[in-house]
Amino acid sequence: MAMNSLKDIYLDQLQDIWSANTQSLPVVTELGRAAQDKDLSEALIDGGNGISDGIAEIEKLCNEHGIEPNAEHCKGMEGLVREARAHGLSNDITDADVRDAAIIPQYQRMVHYALAGYGTLAAFANRLGLDSDAAVLKKCLDQTYDGDRRMTEIATRGGVNKEAAS
């Protein structure tokens, strides 16, 4: 697709966030299964459900704009997923508490990519006067922020980092 307008960039970025979400979902599920800490595991399961919801919402937006959601491959998320598997699921991590501590930053890196994507898309939708799109994207953005804050709580106030340090 030629990039000749903000709308062209917006549509391209919708496809990018769909690709990012579809790539991150399987590894988030794997991280959730690997987590020993109950709160961490539940947060990752909830995060996966949120990613699934985001995929469905982006598919609807793509369909409304007459584009295929899978026309773009997000290389940025491809790298983040590879890193999450290497550093969060590695067989080299033999202590379950250390694994839990390693999972959190890997998940948050993927979440921060989604935050940038949803935030940019919501701003583009607002500028383009696509009010219903902007509302959907803002909801996805807010839910993603909630997941990020929850993960930070688990790391800082929960027992994950404390257990890994002992």
> Is pLDDT larger for residue 158 or for residue 126?
126
- Predicted confidence at residue 163, as pLDDT, reads 82
Summary mean pLDDT of the chain: 94
1 has a pLDDT exceeding 70 = no
Break the chain into its structural domains and give their ranges.
6-70+93-165
Compute the distance between CA of residue 166 and CA of residue 11 in angstroms, rounded to an integer: 48
CATH classification code of 6-70+93-165: 1.20.1260.10
Q: Residue 87 corresponds to which tokens in the numbers above?
A: 């550093």
Segment 33-44, tens digit of pLDDT: 999 999 999 999
Q: Residue 50 corresponds to which tokens in the numbers above?
A: 């949120």
Q: Residue 52 corresponds to which tokens in the numbers above?
A: 């699934």
Segment 7-50, tens digit of pLDDT: 999 999 999 999 999 999 999 999 999 999 999 999 999 999 99
